[in-house]
Structure 1
Amino acid sequence: MAQQFQSSRRKRGVILSSRGWQRVQSAEQKSAEQDNGSRAYTLDQLSERTGLSPNTITKVRRRRLAVDRQTLEFYFSAVGLELTPEDYISLDPDTANVSRSQTPLQGQVPLDSPYYIERQPDEQIAYEEVLQPGALIRIKAPQQSGKTSLMTRILASARDKGMREAVVSLQLADSSVLTDFNRFLRWFCAVVTHSLHLPNRVDEYWNEVYGSSYNCTNYFERYLLTEIDNPIVLALDEGDILFKHPILANDFMAMVRAWNEKSRYGNDGSELWQQLRLVVIHSAESLVGLPFNLNHSPFNIGLSIELKNFNQEQVQELIQRYGINNHQRIAPDLMSFLGGIPYLIQLTLHHISNREVSFSQIKEEAISTNSIFSSHLRNLFAKLQQSYPQLIPLLQQVVNASEPIVLDPIDAFNLQCVGLIRSINLHVEPSCMLYQQYFSQVLRRF
């Protein structure tokens, strides 16, 4: 009987391919337009249509864990599609067939990528927090640590709950926009309006008699938040760019903080502002010498998520996803040399999985000009020289020490924000062996 039951169980081991994910998204959107008043399906609605649990649907969409093929068939059938072999990727050990790009991951990890690793419990906390009225989530970490990748998943989770979303990448703001606060806020309102697929009515609500912050707040209060019934998740990406313009940053952050406070007044207007959920993304290094008053900014309120580096278990899982054997043996070496730094781990595994080089070769050439890390290391050193020269003597102390040392807490905080060191109780050491080797060499002449 036990054998019969075992053989009849569905074998788990597939995830959606990029093609499959695009097909099902498009079909789901068309189905919602026809059968749900053009409103995106909620997880509960999809569960009813597919016969799958909300948790299983979430698992299919995130593509982090494998499901069985029949699950995908149910999902596809519910939105009028027939599942084909091109729609999924096998992750079973015996039939692993994850397609690999010829270039390593750069920037945001796509929603449909099998190489995204969740860092729990922080991510689940963020998914739950964005559902709270008036939520404000701050995501910080050194550059290339996965902040924007997490942001896109928070937005996807919110979208699954029927919420609307607007993403403002401050990287798209022209320099002329960033030098004039009034022009910046008009640009900001226009971008949010466009993201929400609403008509641009900035001119109608802008009155030069009032200040720019008031006009922007009024535009949200009288138009955007009243025009849309569902909660709106507003994500501000690349917040570091604002900090290069201290006066603008100070005024803008004070306004964002005021919005969050409006949601807690307990009056009629509070209910309206509770519909707005804010997600602010910025590099941890932007906290080095903040150009604005912390008490007037959103940086000491809301939920703060500081993304950590990968741990050994997460590195092992990523090694498996790249189809590399002996993951239990390789993972400790990767952790020891690269410290779990996400970008460096992904870069290394990409080159190993494409059979370009072995890990032992990578370590031997780690700080040479031909190293796979050479561009990253040069950029890091250039940033240190140009933006944080005051940290160079401190970093010298750390990399030249034979064991973890004690630094002034503020100095340690600044070095850690840039991603160069890690703390061990009250002591600090280089973030990884790679950084120790490289900076101990290049800083000799200083």
Structure 2
Amino acid sequence: MLSKTSKSKIFILDTNVILHDYTCIYQFQDNDIILPITVLEELDKFKRGNDLINYQAREFVRVLDEIVGDELFNGGKSLGKGKGKLRIETGKPFSEQMKESFREDIPDHRILAIADYMTKTYPKRKSILVSKDINLRMKAKSLGISAEDYKTDQVTDENVLDKTLKTIENFDDNLISLLYEQSSVESNQLKLNFEPEANECFILKGNNSSVLARFDSKNNRVLRVEKKPAYGIKPRNAEQTFSLNVLMDPDIQLVALTGKAGTGKTLLALAAAIELNKSFDQILLARPIVALSNRDLGYLPGDASEKINPYMQPLFDNLSVIKHAFNPRSQEYQRIEELQKDEKLVITPLAYIRGRSLSNSFFIIDEAQNLTPHEIKTIITRAGEGTKMVFTGDLQQIDSPYLDMKSNGLAYMTDRMQNQDLFAHINLVKGERSYLAEMASNLL
């Protein structure tokens, strides 16, 4: 039973919070958690399926079963030392204000009724509805109910969302010459006026020369970055040059490429993977399926393959660009054909590879901004020995209704992994698809 005099807060959870992070009930310190009975009803509908959202629902039900066991649950259950209690709250009648405001009896409104009930029943404690749904939070606030987004896994360093390439002006031309002569120089020799992060890329500009450089924190050296192509794809700007450099470096096992449409994120990652194909057993290129208007794939005509193809087509388009950089009779072209035929280069929906142990693979996850932080963690923890993972995405184009620039998995991973020896992040700014595409991205 909840105490009416406790100073701790009461958090009422919406279904989408659990589908975002099934461990969420352990993230509220010593505060009490209320699970509306409606949430359990909704979770039941999500348990079946192969999408990441179905996995979250199943895992939460398992966690809940472990907590409750064979005991009655109507009095609440402790979540452990230093944690609050978890309680399932059965349905509550709509207040007169709710009846006047909302004519429909839908799950969102039933959750609101429980939040309203908790607010009035425990006036000495602060009751807060936690939801990823902005509209539901607005409805709650209009009724005088406190409401918040789930903030546990949001980005803490906002600079990571808009990382621009650092350029050091008026640098010593002699030191630039030294970097050209030796390819790498101890960082203290260069007398940089800033403390670079692990694998940070920057441009050193003197009066008569310039050089692209990357900081190797493991050896405390600054490396000269050369402009090198990968399987017929030539970098067109400094950002793309840096991208190929970190993609081709075997010591960097986790890479994040962010940037707007047309900057070449996926193309560069795929070109690097094919260039390094002899070093890996398999190249996997995947993306999450986020159906438009929140409609399930079942709404689309055709069998499973026909339903999925439209979502995978952009990945095949990138592969086509690389293939057409060569003559169809060339060894390079034939090599790509062989890789596909032998299933050593596989393009697939992300849900189809969950649960697999990914050893000695080059794994590219496209559109990663549509993944939750927990989904990103689940994917990375599948990495076996010799596996390299590359996450690409545009933080400005999030299709999931419950994610934003601060709460999506790609931003979260980049924020948490920065300054780690095994990780590199490049934010591509300049569009290279076409002048029209670049203009549209900037102006529209």
Bigger Rg, which one: 2
Same fold (TM over 0.5): no
More helix by share: 1
More strand by share: 2
Taking structure 2 as the reference length, the TM-score comes to 0.29
Taking structure 1 as the reference length, the TM-score comes to 0.29
